[in-house]
Structure 1
Amino acid sequence: MSSEPVDFSRGSVAEVPEVMTGVLLVGHGGFDKLEYRSDIPVPTPGPAEVLIRVAAAGVNNTDINTRIGWYSKSVKSSTDEGATQAQDLDATWTGVPMSFPRIQGADCCGRIVRVGKDVDPSRLGERVINANTLRFYVNYRPMESWVFGSECDGAFAQYMKAPSSEAHTVDCDWSDVELASVSCSYSTAENLLHRAGVKPGEHVVITGASGGVGSAAVQLAKRRGAFVTAVAGSMKADEMRQLGADRVVPRGESLVKHLGKETVDVVVDVAAGPAFADLLDVLKKGGRYAVGGAIAGPIVELDVRTLYLKDLTFFGCTFQDDVVFRNLVSYIEKGEIRPLVGKTYPLKDIVTAQQEFLSKTISGKIVLVIPD
């Protein structure tokens, strides 16, 4: 099904269809819970919202984690092991039950085709990307937010509504696919560096460096003038160096063996799992540990003596200050970072895309192209 052509000269009444193609998540579980449909009602934007014609949408760990119910505290395993013990009552970012059906997709690049009554009609036609953490829906309360694909519908469909204040216009020559690789991964990475206060000349270790968040963190840490050690599969070392990594440690090998104890200022971690103790051992006294994921396993062993005797500071990083996404957009517009897209798939092949994502054979982002 194709949408009608949009005439942006007609104000906020751009022609859009009543139904759209998209992917519905109908419950927690396996790939069978993803239903590709062409009869989904097109959302209607509220007074302060915009309707976006989605061009492309990135694939992220959070899409898979949400589908399998991995955020439930009952789950002890890594993402790729599934979440067979998940409890529906706490299997979301916010720890509340998931509402089904849900359209997932935390990353969106598209054009505004309709605006709510309180939004300036001049926004029609703008190419936008969405903020990763949505503060509008929680009245901008500190440390609270919603996420597309979890608390509200996201970008795995032809149309998506979003708060106008959190749909950001970007002036750049990147393709729609490239821009669709940004919102979740790059803002997560920038938030980790922002919260940890990374400064020029500091030594930063980045785990999961070949993935979406990790590869973004490598670029963003180099932008800040840091010395970067990337932890990634040995076959991806050259790619990590091309992104700017000064040193690459093969995933699964001891960081202490490669770097020595107390040699690192900041650890940016999206993996956790069995390597957690090594990450703390390589930190200098007074070092900072920032975590934004646990794909290798959420349950770790912490010797509290290491924490307090080394005067370490821990940062759990989910909520993002408004400045994080504004800064990210400015980096794109100034040409200070570049996208790393590994592969694209049509939306109908979402299962294959997520399977390849889980295989960890692709560096950078996997992006879904949304049909006309």
Structure 2
Amino acid sequence: MIPKTMSAVLLTGHGDMDKLAWRTDVPVPQPKPGEVLIRVAASAVNNTDINTRIGWYSKKVEVATEDAGSAQVDQDDASWSGVPMQFPRIQGADACGHIVAVGEGVDPARIGQRVLVRNMLRSYVGFRPYECWTFGSEIDGCFAQFTVAPARETYEVRCNWSDAELASIPCAYSTAENMLHRAGVGAERVLVTGASGGVGSAAVQLAKRRGAEVIAICAAAKAGEVRALGADRTVDRDADLVAALGRNSVDVVIDMVGGPGFPALLDVLRPGGRYAVAGAIAGPICELDLRTVYLKDLTLHGCTFQEDEVFENLIRYIEAGEIRPVVAKTYPLAEIARAQRDFLSKKHTGKLVLIPPQVQA
């Protein structure tokens, strides 16, 4: 039996942890035509959760995520889509769970399937190119016991992974796979920044799957763990990158970090090299010498929108046993503030995962 109310974390506005409200009386959402109702089993923590909460996407913010808590935010552009956020909002981009009900037009045989939801949703914008809604931003996500999602963007997954492992996939791995897809990565030399984080660790595995030689930038204390993920070499994040690798020494850069280290990333790219970015945790404002770009014939890829095949490929990789995420720690959903503090401390490798109270439905 599906209850009428559920436990959930409500984001009540842009700000500090006090904007995360744990509630036990939130109405269970009802699936509309074309949607499914999912009992959430696990949902991972992502940088975008924190960026959205603090309003980091506002163009007024020019500092790193960890420094942006007291930054001035323009409420009108502090979201993925550049329009005002609607509060309260249930965040959470990584829905792993089971379908327990379906809306009109959805095959009831899908009830009972263990599923993942594509985090960059195209259904709500008519599948137009370069448009999407982010699960947990423009629409309620899965920091709750139940969530709804478009049936055609909810994928059954058959594997022996834990729920926490599956919940590590949607946001981090689709972000990483999308960058590799856009940059056309093959059997070549790839440099991955932030390689111990969720997206970075995913990029290491996914690049190796494509036959790449992977050089990973991370803290020295995490180098062993990152090499265990498949990195061929690690470079300390505080090292002089040009001195360590040499100019024109890599084919592709996969970057989630940005910030003051950005110019060196272009220096180590070979002529004709490609740079792909989908984050800027060290800061969004960078120094760019356009002469480096045009004299070296570089291609720069900004990566948010995802073609359908990106997420569909991930499901195929999971079921074929070609990738496996690292879960650093799990937390009860009610302890989301502790999980986000631990996330910001960057002492872990892999993913932090939230587990909601389990209910029978």
TM-score normalised by structure 2 residue count: 0.98
Tell me which of 193, 205, 209 is aligned to 2:180: 193
Kindly state the Cα deviation for residue 255 of structure 1 after the two structures are TM-superposed: 1.1
Q: 2: distance between equivalents of 1:132 and 1:286?
A: 32
Kindly state the Cα deviation for residue 149 of structure 1 after the two structures are TM-superposed: 1.2
Residue 70 (1) aligns with residue 70 (2): no
Residue 112 (1) aligns with residue 123 (2): no
Q: What is aligned with 2:20?
A: 34
Tell me which of 303, 310, 321 is aligned to 2:296: 310
Q: 1: distance between equivalents of 2:102 and 2:246?
A: 56
Q: What is aligned with 2:158?
A: 171
Question: Secondary structure of 1:119's match?
Answer: coil
Q: What is aligned with 1:3?
A: none
Runs of 4+ in 1 over 6 A off after TM superposition: none
Q: What is aligned with 2:124?
A: 137
Q: 2: distance between equivalents of 1:60 and 1:258?
A: 30
Q: 1: distance between equivalents of 2:244 and 2:289?
A: 22
Q: What is aligned with 1:55?
A: 41
Question: Secondary structure of 2:134's match?
Answer: coil
Question: Secondary structure of 1:210's match?
Answer: coil
Overall identity of the aligned pairs, in %: 64
1:210-246 deviations in Å (ceiling 9; x for gaps): 0000000000000000000000010000001100000
Q: 1: distance between equivalents of 2:208 and 2:301?
A: 20
Question: Secondary structure of 2:127's match?
Answer: coil
Kindly state the Cα deviation for residue 252 of structure 1 after the two structures are TM-superposed: 1.6
Q: 1: distance between equivalents of 2:240 and 2:153?
A: 41
Question: Secondary structure of 2:271's match?
Answer: strand
Residue 205 (1) aligns with residue 203 (2): no
* Structural RMSD (CA): 0.5
1:282-334 deviations in Å (ceiling 9; x for gaps): 00000000000000000000000000000000000000000000101000000
Residue 126 (1) aligns with residue 132 (2): no
1:183-211 deviations in Å (ceiling 9; x for gaps): 000000000000000011x1000000000
Q: Give 5+ residue unaligned stretches, structure 1.
A: 1-14
Say how many residue pairs are matched: 357
Q: What is aligned with 1:339?
A: 325
Q: What is aligned with 2:264?
A: 278
Q: 1: distance between equivalents of 2:286 and 2:160?
A: 43
Mean CA deviation greater in 45-54 or 80-89: 80-89
**1:175 maps to amino acid:** S
Kindly state the Cα deviation for residue 117 of structure 1 after the two structures are TM-superposed: 1.2
**1:254 maps to amino acid:** D
Kindly state the Cα deviation for residue 253 of structure 1 after the two structures are TM-superposed: 1.1
Question: Secondary structure of 2:304's match?
Answer: coil
TM-score normalised by structure 1 residue count: 0.95
Q: What is aligned with 2:235?
A: 249
1:256-292 deviations in Å (ceiling 9; x for gaps): 1110000000000000001101000000000000000
Q: What is aligned with 1:86?
A: 73
**1:366 maps to amino acid:** L
Q: What is aligned with 2:88?
A: 101
Q: Give 5+ residue unaligned stretches, structure 2.
A: none
Q: 2: distance between equivalents of 1:33 and 1:170?
A: 34
Q: What is aligned with 2:200?
A: 214
Q: What is aligned with 1:6?
A: none
**2:302 maps to amino acid:** G
Q: 2: distance between equivalents of 1:346 and 1:297?
A: 30
Kindly state the Cα deviation for residue 132 of structure 1 after the two structures are TM-superposed: 1.7
Residue 329 (1) aligns with residue 301 (2): no
Kindly state the Cα deviation for residue 254 of structure 1 after the two structures are TM-superposed: 1.4
Q: 1: distance between equivalents of 2:66 and 2:238?
A: 16
Tell me which of 262, 267, 276 is aligned to 2:248: 262
1:110-134 deviations in Å (ceiling 9; x for gaps): 0000000100000000000110210
Q: What is aligned with 1:11?
A: none
**2:226 maps to amino acid:** M
Kindly state the Cα deviation for residue 171 of structure 1 after the two structures are TM-superposed: 0.8
**2:39 maps to amino acid:** R
Question: Secondary structure of 1:32's match?
Answer: helix
Mean CA deviation greater in 81-90 or 133-142: 81-90
Q: 1: distance between equivalents of 2:159 and 2:240?
A: 41
Kindly state the Cα deviation for residue 369 of structure 1 after the two structures are TM-superposed: 0.6
**2:100 maps to amino acid:** V
Q: What is aligned with 1:153?
A: 140
Q: 2: distance between equivalents of 1:329 and 1:50?
A: 19
Mean CA deviation greater in 252-261 or 187-196: 252-261
1:153-204 deviations in Å (ceiling 9; x for gaps): 001000000000111111110011110000000000000000000011x100
